[in-house]
Structure 1
Amino acid sequence: MKAAVINTSIGVVPIVIPNDVMDGNGFYVSYNSVDSQIYGSETTALVFGQMQRFYILNGDHRAEYSLLIDQGFNACLNYFVENLDVINKYSEALPT
């Protein structure tokens, strides 16, 4: 979790950023350790485009995705497919 501030018309406002994000080309990987009550555990999401699709795994998969992110979305999606045993109930279905 990260903290930041934003400037608004009423002054500087502190905000909390719950996700740790790694950017890829046309996608990103987002780790969330804060919303366990919603998702049932910490989660790592492979997010396509501008939040068009969320492929969510339970647990912390940042280390594995960090080795694949420069290889592109398909390499990361293959990792997701290899780990369907820990798919989160809120994950998108795989593309057909």
Structure 2
Amino acid sequence: MSARPGRRPFGGARDLPVRCAARGRTARPRAPPVHLGFGHGVHHCPGAPPSRAEAAIAPRVLFEQHPRLALDVDPAAAAWRTGALLRGLASLPVLLG
């Protein structure tokens, strides 16, 4: 794929500065990409801190209360959602033991 001078195709839009310099171009310093799952700036989700706390605490408590927790399905056979917006398991059967 070729591009007009001064423009880059989308495939090269996220080149790391080191890779740009290795190709003989001057690389501009860039901030690392950030995850926008909870928004950014004025659009930041007010539920982000409790969600992060829950994600940190819930697995620990679950495994403390059910130390023999195990999958009840072959990991390769797990069904995934196929939607365009969200990626995740359709279900995750477990044995509490």
The structure with the largest alpha-carbon Rg is 2
Larger RCO (alpha carbons 8 Å, 6+ apart) = 1
Normalising by structure 2, report the TM-score: 0.21
More strand as a share of residues:
1
More helix as a share of residues:
2
